[in-house]
Amino acid sequence: MFNRGSQRGRRVIAISPNGPTGNGDEVEARFLAPHFESEGFPWLQIFGYIGSLLLTIAALLAVVQHILSPIGLLTVILILAVAQAALQLGIFMHLRESRGSTWHIITLGLGIVIALGLVGMSMWIMTFKSGVS
Amino acid sequence: MSSLLAQLFPPSTTRNMELSADVLIILTSAAIIYYLTRWHRWKYLWREWLTTVDHKKIGIMYLIAAVTMLFRGGVDALLLRAQLAVPNNHFLGPLHYDEIFTTHGTIMIFFMAMPLIFAMFNIAIPLMIGARDVAFPRLNAISFWLFAFAGFLFNISFVIGGSPNAGWTSYPPLTELAFNPGVGQNYYLMALIVTGIGTTATGINFLVTILRMRAPGMTLMRMPMFAWTTLVTSVLILFAFPPLTVAMVLTLFDRLFGTAFFTIGRGGMPMMYVNLFWLFGHPEVYILVLPSFGIFSEVVATFSRKKLFGYSTMVYSVLAITFLSYGTWVHHFFTMGAGAAVNVFFGLSTILIAIPTGIKIFNWIFTMWNGRIKMTVAMMWALAFIPTFVVGGATGVMLGAVPADYQFHNSYFLIAHFHNVIIGGTVFGLLSGVYYWWPKMTGRLLNERQGKWAFWLFFLGFWVTFMPQYALGFMGMTRRMYTYSHGFGWSSLNLMSTIGAFVMGAGFVVMVYNFVWSQIHGEIDVTGDPWDGRTLEWSTPSPAPEYNFARIPVVTDRDAWWAIKQDHKSNVIQIKPQEIQDIELPKSSAIPFLMGLSFFVFSVGMVFSWWWIAVVGFLGFVVCMLVGTFDYDDHKEVPRQVIQNTESALGRLQG
């Protein structure tokens, strides 16, 4: 599957001790194989769901009721948004259910770079408003 | 009652053209219903197609939908060109013209190009990487049905409720309620939201499929090029579609619930819509063209009988294009005036993309160098792509130069440029893919002579249509004008462009004739490998059995099937009876179809602000989710006896 060393070699990673059989049982490399935590009842997920609903409602109410000055409001909803993202990743995106962090770091890193890039550049583009209005 | 009728059939739906469309729609539907009933095909349709989760059948459904939408979008295009053929023409009124260019653009991008891309993904990817289906087969069907019902929703707008008319980009304030009453714009918003959900799910699906389900031995750097471009396209989809959905939902809120996200008078910022739209729109351009780059890489290598030149450079250029494409979106609105620093940054990043793209062009040319080139229709589309895309790319660099862009912006130069890259890149590539993989889909070869006629008509028609438009742009003709006066001197070039458009239309008709004729009389592909192919899909029979591979192949090299053939080991596709094992496959399900239907009902409720209908649709969606979540009986075992019989009938059983 994943050639973790040289990308140029002709090396086939032996997945099962007897080599691939071609019957579909070895299509996933060991370090990528899913590692599920099973529980009797998904309490954590239900709390996570209620938690994300509460965070969303809190953000909406804060804005609709104008509880703070614009800068204060922005800070509050930003904090709520980061908390929400952490909660979603931790509970629903199976961030804790893994045997290795390699892929998490790559994908999260890419996600953060792109998200910050898009948001940051959007803010930069929109600064023109101060010049024209 | 009369107010309801007035809401459903406003004046824009009772013009002669719309009424004739009504008659055609009713007659066609009646004919289809009669056919299905007369030949007892309803159950077959439901069992084999509407509830299927098989990637091969979903791919075929995407293809049929895309060709249908190409027809609709093409008719729109011909109407536009007919209006512009001569000066001072009154064939279409100004509002009618607005409606038609809006639906033309939206349908061509979201309901023609995107499904055609997903058709190629579905048909080729699992077979290419040696998998038995995609990672989430039911989600794949859900994606399809969300797209199909969204397309249906968008397409009925012009006969029921009124067509959207603010252009495919639909900028506020033109889309705000004050300037655009009626439901047309709601249709646009709901259709894009619903199909966007399906597209995002497809992105996730193919990303996981390619990362997790490749045959043993197929490292990332041994993947076929099309798998690489599918992988990065999926990543692009994941980041590009959320901004679009946000822009659409915020506009919908402005229209339905009285918010003011984009209303400047109440503190909103219409420019933010433009920013969000192109945050999606620019990566979208690469979502459209990268799969075609992948197809060219397969087609050129196969029909030159050579391995792809510079494989790793190709991979790195694809990755570079992907990364750079996130940082170029402002070039769609340089004239907004965001300042010199912003414009220069985005102008440079735009022009930078020409470098990896140029590398790819040279790699394709070097792949053909000294190859034994076979001029099949698929290869001709790939060859036609190179000069066409080079012209489109060069004019793109011209548009990327900021000072020049201030002159070109929203002129026919721009129109010619983006048709040049989207038709010359995306459409030529996808048609190449259709001709290349058709035998794998259907088990029959397309007639080459008819295919060449279709190719030449479409290709020449394309140049005659769009080259005059570059000149018209220089002469000052702007986008979206519905008529012009004689004195501007644009008449002959416009007439030429219209003639070209009708030649392209003729090419399309020949192509559809080619598809239908070949399905009835075409040569049957008995080998499963009609082109002497290089990748694993050609090791399967045409069409592949439900389980794709009786035994998952083991990959030792790039161009896996070619390597197997070179080693004289092509008899590995013969399987011994004692080696056959039971195969687990996903089971058909009605949930994807019903979920699409729920979204449709919900959307109709939102479009017309009939809240109770929206609630019904939403409840339908919740029920589908619940039933689907607790449905553990979602797979089936294909017993080895069945596989043995199938393989034996295909002549692939040893001994």
Mean pLDDT of A108-112: 84
For residue A29, the one-letter residue type is: A
For residue A69, the one-letter residue type is: S
* Least Cα separation, residue A128 to chain B (angstroms): 5
* B338 closest CB neighbour out of A15, A114, A125: A125
CB atoms within 10 A of CB B254: 24
> ipTM of this model?
0.82
Beta carbons of B221 and A7 less than 8 Å apart: yes
Interface test with B, best of A13, A27, A106, A128 (most B CBs within 10 A): A27
Interface test with B, best of A118, A124, A133 (most B CBs within 10 A): A118
The answer to whether residue A24 neighbours chain B at the CB level (below 8 Å) is yes
**Which residue of chain A comes nearest to B572, CA vs CA?**
A22
Q: How confident is the model at residue A16 (pLDDT cuts 50, 70, 90)?
A: very low
Q: How confident is the model at residue B569 (pLDDT cuts 50, 70, 90)?
A: confident
Please spell the DSSP secondary structure of B403-426, one letter per residue.
HHHHHHTTBHHHHHHHHHHIIIII
Answer yes or no: is pLDDT of B391 > 90.
Answer: yes
β-sheet bridge partners, residue B444:
B524
Is B650 exposed, middle or buried (CB count within 10 Å of its CB: 0-12, 13-18, 19+)?
middle
The answer to whether residue A2 neighbours chain B at the CB level (below 8 Å) is yes
Mean pLDDT of B250-263: 93
- Specify the DSSP class assigned to residue B160: T
Per-residue pLDDT, B629: 87
- Specify the DSSP class assigned to residue B445: P
* B217 closest CB neighbour out of A12, A122, A124: A12
CB atoms within 10 A of CB B482: 19
Per-residue pLDDT, A131: 54
Per-residue pLDDT, B573: 85
Beta carbons of B131 and A26 less than 8 Å apart: no
Mean pLDDT of B350-370: 94
Nearest Cα residue to B530 out of B318, B654, B378: B378
Beta carbons of B216 and A1 less than 8 Å apart: yes
Q: How confident is the model at residue B651 (pLDDT cuts 50, 70, 90)?
A: confident
* Angle, vertex CA B237, rays to CA B281 and CA B283, nearest 5: 30
* Least Cα separation, residue A25 to chain B (angstroms): 10
Beta carbons of A24 and B552 less than 8 Å apart: yes
Beta carbons of A114 and B239 less than 8 Å apart: yes
Per-residue pLDDT, B570: 82
Q: Calculate the alpha carbon distances from B239 to A109, A115, B1, B232, B531 in Å.
A: 14, 8, 45, 11, 36
Q: How confident is the model at residue B126 (pLDDT cuts 50, 70, 90)?
A: very high
Q: What are the pLDDT digits (tens) for B517-535?
A: 999 999 999 989 999 999 9
- Specify the DSSP class assigned to residue B158: T
* Least Cα separation, residue A108 to chain B (angstroms): 13
* Least Cα separation, residue A92 to chain B (angstroms): 15
Beta carbons of B552 and A8 less than 8 Å apart: no
The answer to whether residue A15 neighbours chain B at the CB level (below 8 Å) is yes
- As a whole number of angstroms, the distance between CA B447 and CA B444 comes to 9
Answer yes or no: is pLDDT of A10 > 50.
Answer: no
β-sheet bridge partners, residue B524:
B444
Answer yes or no: is pLDDT of A68 > 90.
Answer: no
Beta carbons of B275 and A126 less than 8 Å apart: yes
Task: Compute φ and ψ for B493, nearest 5 degrees.
Answer: -65, -40
The answer to whether residue B181 neighbours chain A at the CB level (below 8 Å) is no
* Whether the Cβ atoms of residue B13 and residue B161 lie closer than 8 Å to each other: yes
Beta carbons of A23 and B552 less than 8 Å apart: yes
- As a whole number of angstroms, the distance between CA B41 and CA B503 comes to 37
**Which residue of chain B comes nearest to A28, CA vs CA?**
B212
β-sheet bridge partners, residue B31:
none
β-sheet bridge partners, residue B583:
B638
- As a whole number of angstroms, the distance between CA B392 and CA B169 comes to 21
Nearest Cα residue to B198 out of B110, B321, B294: B110
Beta carbons of B212 and A12 less than 8 Å apart: no
Please report, rounded to a whole number, the percentage of residues in chain B having pLDDT higher than 70: 100
Taking contacts as CB-CB distances below 8 angstroms, the residues of chain B near A128 are 336-339, 342
Interface test with A, best of B333, B552, B643 (most A CBs within 10 A): B552
Per-residue pLDDT, A130: 58
Mean pLDDT of B417-434: 96
* Least Cα separation, residue A15 to chain B (angstroms): 8
- As a whole number of angstroms, the distance between CA B213 and CA B127 comes to 11
Nearest Cα residue to B494 out of B85, B91, B92: B85
**Which residue of chain B comes nearest to A3, CA vs CA?**
B219
Q: What are the pLDDT digits (tens) for B316-339?
A: 999 999 989 888 999 999 998 888
- As a whole number of angstroms, the distance between CA B601 and CA B96 comes to 27
Beta carbons of A125 and B275 less than 8 Å apart: yes
Taking contacts as CB-CB distances below 8 angstroms, the residues of chain B near A8 are 221
Per-residue pLDDT, B54: 95
Q: Which of residues 85-124 of A touch B (CB under 8 A)?
A: 114, 117-118, 121-122, 124
Answer yes or no: is pLDDT of A7 > 60.
Answer: no
The domain ranges of chain B are 41-536+551-573
Residue B288 C-beta-side C-alpha neighbours within 13 Å: 23
Taking contacts as CB-CB distances below 8 angstroms, the residues of chain B near A102 are none
Per-residue pLDDT, A100: 65
- As a whole number of angstroms, the distance between CA B402 and CA B418 comes to 17
Mean pLDDT of B329-350: 91
Beta carbons of B131 and A27 less than 8 Å apart: yes
Q: Which of A32-46, A67-81, B32-46, B159-173 has the lowest mean pLDDT?
A: A32-46
* Angle, vertex CA B54, rays to CA B289 and CA B654, nearest 5: 110
Per-residue pLDDT, A110: 82
What is the phi-psi region of residue B548: left when phi exceeds 0, alpha when psi lies from -120 to 50, beta otherwise? left
- As a whole number of angstroms, the distance between CA B641 and CA B602 comes to 45
Q: How confident is the model at residue A1 (pLDDT cuts 50, 70, 90)?
A: very low
Q: How many CB pairs under 8 A join A and B?
A: 79
Answer yes or no: is pLDDT of A18 > 80.
Answer: no
* Whether the Cβ atoms of residue A95 and residue A104 lie closer than 8 Å to each other: yes
* B554 closest CB neighbour out of A20, A118, A126: A20
- As a whole number of angstroms, the distance between CA B623 and CA B72 comes to 34
b/e burial code for range B596-623 (CB count within 10 A of at least 16 → b)? bbbbbbbbbbbbbeeeebbebbbebbee
Which long-range contacts (C-beta less than 8 Å, at least 24 apart) are formed by B484-493?
B484/B84, B484/B87, B484/B88, B485/B87, B485/B88, B486/B87, B486/B88, B488/B87, B490/B87, B491/B86, B491/B87, B493/B468, B493/B469
Domain B41-536+551-573 has CATH 1.20.210.10: yes
The answer to whether residue A20 neighbours chain B at the CB level (below 8 Å) is yes
Taking contacts as CB-CB distances below 8 angstroms, the residues of chain B near A24 are 132, 552, 583
The answer to whether residue A66 neighbours chain B at the CB level (below 8 Å) is no
Mean pLDDT of B430-458: 96
Average model confidence (pLDDT) for chain B? Answer: 94
* A117 closest CB neighbour out of B218, B326, B342: B326
Q: Calculate the alpha carbon distances from B555 to A23, B217, B218, B544, B558 in Å.
A: 13, 5, 5, 19, 8
Mean pLDDT of B626-637: 88
SS3 content of chain A, % helix, strand, coil (to 5): 60, 0, 40
Beta carbons of A12 and B583 less than 8 Å apart: no
Q: What are the pLDDT digits (tens) for B61-120?
A: 999 999 999 999 999 999 999 999 999 999 999 999 999 999 999 999 999 999 999 999
Q: What are the pLDDT digits (tens) for B139-153?
A: 999 999 999 999 999
- As a whole number of angstroms, the distance between CA B161 and CA B153 comes to 11
Per-residue pLDDT, A40: 75
The answer to whether residue A50 neighbours chain B at the CB level (below 8 Å) is no
The answer to whether residue B638 neighbours chain A at the CB level (below 8 Å) is no
Q: Is A85 helix (H, G, I), strand (E, B) or coil?
A: helix
Beta carbons of A127 and B339 less than 8 Å apart: yes
Please report, rounded to a whole number, the percentage of residues in chain A having pLDDT higher than 90: 24
Beta carbons of A132 and B337 less than 8 Å apart: yes
Task: Compute φ and ψ for A7, nearest 5 degrees.
Answer: -85, -10
Mean pLDDT of A24-49: 64
* Angle, vertex CA B640, rays to CA B635 and CA B644, nearest 5: 130
The pair of three-digit structure tokens given for residue B378, joined into one six-digit string: 């698929």
b/e burial code for range B280-290 (CB count within 10 A of at least 16 → b)? bbbbbbbbbbb
Beta carbons of A126 and B269 less than 8 Å apart: yes
Pairing of strands B635-638, B583-586: antiparallel
Interface test with A, best of B132, B210, B213, B219 (most A CBs within 10 A): B219
β-sheet bridge partners, residue B411:
B478
- Specify the DSSP class assigned to residue B107: I
Taking contacts as CB-CB distances below 8 angstroms, the residues of chain A near B344 are none
* B551 closest CB neighbour out of A15, A23, A131: A23
Per-residue pLDDT, B598: 97
Q: How confident is the model at residue A17 (pLDDT cuts 50, 70, 90)?
A: very low
* B220 closest CB neighbour out of A2, A12, A125: A2
Answer yes or no: is pLDDT of B183 > 60.
Answer: yes
For residue B173, whether the previous peptide bond is cis, meaning omega lies within 30 degrees of 0, is yes
Q: What are the pLDDT digits (tens) for B185-229?
A: 999 999 999 999 999 999 999 999 999 899 999 999 999 999 999
Q: Determine the number of helices (DSSP H) and then strands (DSSP E) in chain B.
A: 23, 2
Q: How confident is the model at residue A129 (pLDDT cuts 50, 70, 90)?
A: low
Q: How confident is the model at residue B405 (pLDDT cuts 50, 70, 90)?
A: very high
**Which residue of chain B comes nearest to A120, CA vs CA?**
B327
Answer yes or no: is pLDDT of A31 > 60.
Answer: no
Per-residue pLDDT, B653: 87
